[in-house]
Structure 1
Amino acid sequence: MTISSHIDASHRPRRGFRHLRAALTVAAICLSLGACAEQYQKGYIMPIGALEQIPIGASQDQVLIVMGTPSTVATLSGEVFYYISQRAERAVAFMPQKVTDQRVVAIYFDKNRKVNRLANYGLQDGKIFDFISRTTPTSGQEMSYLTPLFKLISFR
């Protein structure tokens, strides 16, 4: 008779217990990796309620006080301040980032350097969309400037 045959069956670990322990270990690893989800903000971080503090007719100096220095400036039929941002997240530390939101806030000034329009551009259904006026900009000088901005921030 061997030693193993003398061991009482009640002292042997149950096969089901080993499977349960393995499943719990896998679940714990998945939960710990899920807790590693990270969010990233690149570019301009807009203060809460900033656009509401900029009325039509406000001066460029007022805009600079509220919004800070723009990411870039352009001249269309007056000056335009662009504030560019992108949000991304990564579900697990070793996975690539996935872009969740891209925005270009545009503040348009007239020849007297007063605000005449605000726009908050983002992508909706793959097209550039203004979330303030709820419209898609048409072709022209404005689109020729916005399209490269979105392509630039899409590949970062």
Structure 2
Amino acid sequence: MRKPGRMNFRHSRLALALVGALALAGCGSTTETLQRGYVLPEGALEQIPIGASQDQVLIVLGTPSTVATVSGEAFYYISQTAKRSAAFMPYGVVDQRVIAVYFDKDRRVTKLANYGMKDGKLFDFYSQTTPTGGQELSYIRNIFRNIGVGPIAPRS
């Protein structure tokens, strides 16, 4: 005949092992995403036709991250997405974007671009092209260098 206390001890150990295994399984599958900078609203670029005014751009996209006057005026909206697999791991950058809106002398939109990296090269996801040389390309590359590609810390 078995002692009733012996059976409860076995069940307690089994339950404790099961809870521990579930806790460890949950830790491994947690991916944390950090979005820094500008978050492009869905369909926002489609609301800005060529020829739109600078005020229309500000209404749809909001205040730009930075403004430049390389060859005419341009608004730049900069963002970065980073992920980490566990709370103790550093963040790794998985995507960087620069939304560029170019204006003519009358402050009307002449071009839109959604720059990011593809196959190690600067790529415009809006026009599906790789930009060629020039002062504008140098400026965009500098933005990508300045926002970094290494691990980042979350904002507090």
Q: Which of the five TM-score ranges fits, normalised by the shorter chain?
A: 0.7 to 0.9
List aligned pairs for 1:61-72, cutoff 5 A: 61-72=55-66
Residue 33 (str. 1) matches residue 27 (str. 2): yes
Q: Which residue of 2 aligns with 1:80?
A: 74
CA gap of 1:132–1:28, structure 2 versus 1, over 3 A, is: same
Q: Which residue of 2 aligns with 1:53?
A: 47
Partner of 1:113, secondary structure, is coil
RMSD across aligned positions (CA): 2.4
Q: What's the TM-score once normalised by structure 2's chain length? A: 0.81
Q: Percent identity?
A: 61
Distance (Å, rounded) in 1 between the aligned partners of 2:24 and 2:141? 40
Distance (Å, rounded) in 2 between the aligned partners of 1:101 and 1:108? 23
Number of residue-to-residue matches in the alignment: 145
Give the letter for the 1:131 counterpart.
F
Among candidates 120, 131, 137, match of residue 143 of structure 1: 137
Q: What's the CA shift string for 1:123-146, capped at 9, x where partnerless?
A: 001111000111111111111101
Q: Which residue of 1 aligns with 2:86?
A: 92
Runs of 5+ in structure 1 lacking a partner?
1-6
Higher alpha-carbon deviation: 34-43 or 133-142: 34-43
**Aligned structure 1 segments of 4 or more residues deviating by more than 3 angstroms:** 11-14, 24-27
Larger Rg: 1
Q: What's the CA shift string for 1:43-98, capped at 9, x where partnerless?
A: 01112211111000000000001000000011122101000001111110000111
Q: What's the TM-score once normalised by structure 1's chain length? A: 0.81
Q: What's the CA shift string for 1:17-61, capped at 9, x where partnerless?
A: x89x85x56642332213542111000111221111100000000
